[in-house]
Structure 1
Amino acid sequence: MKVFWYLSFLVLVFTIGLHSEKTKKVIKKQNPIKSPITPEIERKIPEPKDQYQIRLIMENDAFGGFSDRYYTNGSRLEFNMSAGESNPTRKVLGYWNDLFITPSQTTKYLQGFSLGQEFYTPTNIEKADVSYGDRPYSSRAYFSNSLTTATEDTSITTELELGMIGPSVGGKSAQMNFHNLIGSPTPQGWDTQIPNSYSGALRTDVRKFHHRFFGTQYNLNVGNIQSDVSFGFIFRFGNIDKTPGPGSSALQPGPPILHEDGKGYWYFYVNPGGTLQFYNATIQGQIGSDKAYKTQNRNTAFSNWDNYLNNPTPEAGEREIQYRALAEDNGKNSLQRYILFNEFLVKGTNNPYNIGLNYLLFNNIFNGAEDIEKSTRLFLLNNLAEQWDQIPDNARALAIYSIFRPEGGKLPPHIRLYSYEVLSQFILDPKQREVLLQLLREEIEYRDEKTYVADLKRAVGFIKVGFVSVSNAGFLFGVHYNFQTIDFQSGKGLPQQHQWLGFQVGKVF
């Protein structure tokens, strides 16, 4: 429904623009203004032909069969048209663009309207909780109005953006439906995503080609969702002069299709560069939000261990280290931590249960409520059936819910609390049992209604490789590969880079 209203607004603005141009032509005919240019001179200066174009950019890490994590999906739909001297967007943004270029009679001006969205996920999407030290879930969408000023070797694209970040964007349902369609695992942690907030931004992309095979690129973003600066080189090979080609990535869309009738071009390109980040709400969350917390080095309930032990001993310190190791989930070490759980909280106690219930306890408390595969689910059910009569009611309730938990949902607090109580009642040491239960209860209170956020990595490197073709008739096709170092401070053992593929298609009318 939101997309419908966005598109409706886009059509409305376009219609008003066309109506305004027609009205001006009528007024001009009714009230002709005398010009010092003689008819002979006027015939020698060809009037620029009005141009309309549409472009679609889509990118996803699934396109290349890469790992599903971090920046996982982005798309952008653009409509651009010629902007005359009286165009409001040109009047507002033209002054800014002119700081980077010297206009001439051949300078082109294009006004654009765009709709875009971006989705971000952590390394392991099968966990209901975000692993500490990983990238949080977040989704954003925006509408923008832009102006591109272009000469034969330079383009400046500036856009004003309005949008929002958070659950209202619909990232949860969109990715779940897409994954169900292609048979990929259902993402479980969207309920932990960065909360709703509105966004505004100014983005400028400058591309200058010093040679038809070599250029430089500058990108500036200023806003309450993302603030950063980027610089890169563009190396090209193909059938093209100095004309800047269209941008490629939905994250840095750049100029639209720059094209003249009958003058097609094609080229391969390599675009290495780097980004300096100042703020990124898709990682850090909304500024000042009391719902956000960052915790790869966080103070958890386990940090208060000594406050609950009257006389700490070396054994108590060892237990604290083991509890911390159990809680440090980076999304990839489930087996190692389950072995630790089994050695520490099953063996040496009077815990009477087999692997069925114990694994569910471990998964709910220490493993982020990871989604259980069908084969494992059947094994756990068979194991539980053998002990069903010996299992208390609260343990039965949490076992049934944990195995058949709805997809894509957060683990309810009472199920987590049941898990804490069942685990703690079979620990032999009364002091240890009391401490563990108290700590776990504090942990659930700390997590409830909170959103995980990560620390920002200031310097990010990237390299883009791709192919662009614009036919004589103005048909655009492009494909691009992106490799990027991660943009957040990660926990130990997580991948330090990400890669994805994208494509763009378009047409000049």
Structure 2
Amino acid sequence: MKSKFLLLVIFTKLALTSGILGQTKTTKKPTQIKPVMETPVEIERTAKETPDQYQVRLIMENDAFGGFSDRYYTNGSRLEFHMTAGESNPTRKVFSYWNDIFITPSETTKYLQGFAVAQEFYTPTNITKADVSYGDRPYSSRGYFSNSLTTATEDTSITTELELGMIGPSVGGKSAQMNFHNLINSPTPQGWDTQIPDSYSVALRTDIRKYYHRFFGTQYNLNLGNINTDVSFGLIFRFGNVDKTPGPGSSALQPGPPILHNEGNGYWYFYINPGGTLQAYNATIQGQMGTDKAYKSQNRSSAFSNWDSFLNNPTPDVGERELQYRALSEDNGRNTLQRYVLFNEFLVKGTNNPYNIGLNYLLFNNIFNGAEDIAFTTRVFLLKNLSDQWEQIPDNAKALAIYSIFRPEGGKLPPIVRYYSYEILSQFILDPKQRETLLALLREEVEDRENKTYIADLKRAVGFVRAGFVSVSNAGFMFGLHYNYQTIDFQSARGLPQQHQWIGFQLGKVF
């Protein structure tokens, strides 16, 4: 009996403990199901919160990458850092007023704040000349820092960027290009001392990309400021494994949006982007706004090209001779041989010019040919020719010849050297009175030019075609390779190339 009673007690305790009897199971039930009840709420809250995103992107462009000619827009580089911009972000608060004009925000809209540093270099057609050639693009370099906001949906991106920077020698274009050319064993650029001078820059840029189909979209770009004021429009055709995501921009000149990427959702595509730009102002071509320290070689007239008029000595052939001298002065960087033939025809033959080809070429090069850098083989030939006639050359001409052959690289021809070149040439082709008058005019011209910088006229309409490949991996690694073709953006002299090509690449990572 006792044993049965003991078994009953033990069974009762086990039942109570396990919840078979009593309320133990009922009181513990909420504790067990509570996590199950909260999980959907937590998932819903997490879905509404966009995780912070950070990314870096590097864009590099150079005409040397494709083996193209070194001219016009010759180099550009840009380093960017972007991060998610929350509602309290100052950049988002300011720029979103403008961006929201072109887009309808939603809960899935992304906002990315960006910072960038960049530089651009521009050169004329022939970089071996110390002077800018007739009707060519000026030397200029531009650097800036920028702050941007990108507003992006599944098929549209708006990127607005405010930049502060400067244009001129302080950007460092001369040393950067000279060092790079020495590294790759290319000709040393000679004319950077003629570049457009220092001035500060402020600009506002907006890039709009809209995709109507994953393989087709449009692009608009607006620049306002004292460096560039222009508007561009383009079509974008692409093919690949991509949805309507606008993807990253392709050029340092029009960088566009950063890497647009969702974790675990990579994409790749090939694209072609034809379009055009209408320019209102470009400081890398036209120089500073309102400056009076500029001249255009297209409009220049040297004292030597119209000396008959200055001397008030009209003759029947004055007009023809002025045209000949002007043609001799109009160096477009590609017509050296033709103009040297003119030089020999009108300033050597039929005159008292006693110099041989060695000294005459140096005079021609200093006065009419932009002080072009002389190749090593040509220097050897000129030295041999000068040595054969050394005793007959005046002392001032000897000193000029030695300096002209061995002058330092990468700098302007000193005005005094050009002045003495005129003097040595004119002493045998003009009588003393004419020569004295001409040299006085030349001295005034040299002094006036020394304080001025060459600029060019703007070409209003510019066409471009861009093509390339973009890949963004599931983990957020980005690689892009881009080809660029563009018609020239300035009014050029006849015979200069009317287009330019370069290649660029991008590397980036989303964190």
What TM-score, normalized to structure 2? 0.90
Q: What is the CA-CA distance between 1:418 and the residue it aligns to?
A: 1.1
Q: What is the CA-CA distance between 1:436 and the residue it aligns to?
A: 4.6
Give the paired residue count: 472
> What is the CA deviation profile of residues 400-431 of structure 1, one whole-angstrom value per residue up to 9, with x for unaligned ones?
11101111010011111110110000115566
Q: Which amino acid aligns with 1:205?
A: D
1:113 to 102, 112, 115: 115
1:492 to 491, 494, 503: 494
Q: What is the CA-CA distance between 1:203 and the residue it aligns to?
A: 0.4
Aligned residue for 1:127? Answer: 129
Matches within 5 A, 1:41-60: 43-45=43-45, 46=47, 47-60=49-62
Q: What is the CA-CA distance between 1:292 and the residue it aligns to?
A: 1.1
> What is the CA deviation profile of residues 434-465 of structure 1, one whole-angstrom value per residue up to 9, with x for unaligned ones?
56544533432332121100000000000000
Aligned residue for 2:284? Answer: 282
Q: Please tell me whether the aligned partners of residues 57 and 505 of structure 1 are also in contact (alpha carbons under 8 angstroms).
A: yes
Distance, in Å, in 1 between the alignment partners of 2:397 and 2:435 is 17
Aligned residue for 1:61? Answer: 63
Q: What is the CA-CA distance between 1:351 and the residue it aligns to?
A: 1.7
Measured at CA, do residues 256 and 269 of structure 1 come closer, stay the same or move farther in structure 2, by a change above 3 Å? same
Q: Please tell me whether the aligned partners of residues 305 and 329 of structure 2 are also in contact (alpha carbons under 8 angstroms).
A: no
Q: Which amino acid aligns with 2:417?
A: I
Q: Which amino acid aligns with 1:124?
A: N
Distance, in Å, in 2 between the alignment partners of 1:441 and 1:387 is 29
1:175 to 174, 177, 182: 177
Aligned residue for 2:190? Answer: 188
Aligned residue for 2:348? Answer: 346
Which segment drifts farther, 41-50 or 405-414?
Answer: 41-50
Q: What is the CA-CA distance between 1:300 and the residue it aligns to?
A: 4.0
Measured at CA, do residues 299 and 416 of structure 1 come closer, stay the same or move farther in structure 2, by a change above 3 Å? closer
Q: Please tell me whether the aligned partners of residues 133 and 297 of structure 2 are also in contact (alpha carbons under 8 angstroms).
A: no
Aligned residue for 2:31? Answer: none
> What is the CA deviation profile of residues 354-385 of structure 1, one whole-angstrom value per residue up to 9, with x for unaligned ones?
11111000000000000000000011111111
Aligned residue for 1:231? Answer: 233
Q: Please tell me whether the aligned partners of residues 220 and 231 of structure 2 are also in contact (alpha carbons under 8 angstroms).
A: yes
Measured at CA, do residues 412 and 39 of structure 1 come closer, stay the same or move farther in structure 2, by a change above 3 Å? same
* Unmatched runs of 5 consecutive residues or more in structure 2: 1-37
Q: What is the CA-CA distance between 1:389 and the residue it aligns to?
A: 2.3
Aligned residue for 1:301? Answer: 303
Secondary structure of residue in 1 paired with 2:374: coil
> What is the CA deviation profile of residues 11-51 of structure 1, one whole-angstrom value per residue up to 9, with x for unaligned ones?
xxxxxxxxxxxxxxxxxxxxxxxxxxx99756413211110
Q: Please tell me whether the aligned partners of residues 213 and 237 of structure 1 are also in contact (alpha carbons under 8 angstroms).
A: yes
Distance, in Å, in 2 between the alignment partners of 1:305 and 1:41 is 91
Aligned residue for 1:146? Answer: 148
Q: Which amino acid aligns with 1:172?
A: K
* Unmatched runs of 5 consecutive residues or more in structure 1: 1-37
Aligned residue for 2:268? Answer: 266
Q: What is the CA-CA distance between 1:313 and the residue it aligns to?
A: 1.6
Q: What is the CA-CA distance between 1:344 and the residue it aligns to?
A: 1.0
Q: What is the CA-CA distance between 1:325 and the residue it aligns to?
A: 1.1
Measured at CA, do residues 349 and 305 of structure 1 come closer, stay the same or move farther in structure 2, by a change above 3 Å? closer
Q: Please tell me whether the aligned partners of residues 301 and 442 of structure 1 are also in contact (alpha carbons under 8 angstroms).
A: no
Percent sequence identity over matched residues?
A: 83
Q: Please tell me whether the aligned partners of residues 303 and 438 of structure 2 are also in contact (alpha carbons under 8 angstroms).
A: no
Measured at CA, do residues 121 and 263 of structure 1 come closer, stay the same or move farther in structure 2, by a change above 3 Å? same
CA RMSD, 1 decimal: 1.6
Q: Which amino acid aligns with 2:44?
A: K
Larger radius of gyration: 2
Distance, in Å, in 2 between the alignment partners of 1:247 and 1:296 is 37
What TM-score, normalized to structure 1? 0.90
Q: Please tell me whether the aligned partners of residues 305 and 325 of structure 2 are also in contact (alpha carbons under 8 angstroms).
A: no
Q: Please tell me whether the aligned partners of residues 217 and 233 of structure 1 are also in contact (alpha carbons under 8 angstroms).
A: yes
Aligned residue for 1:255? Answer: 257
Aligned residue for 1:73? Answer: 75
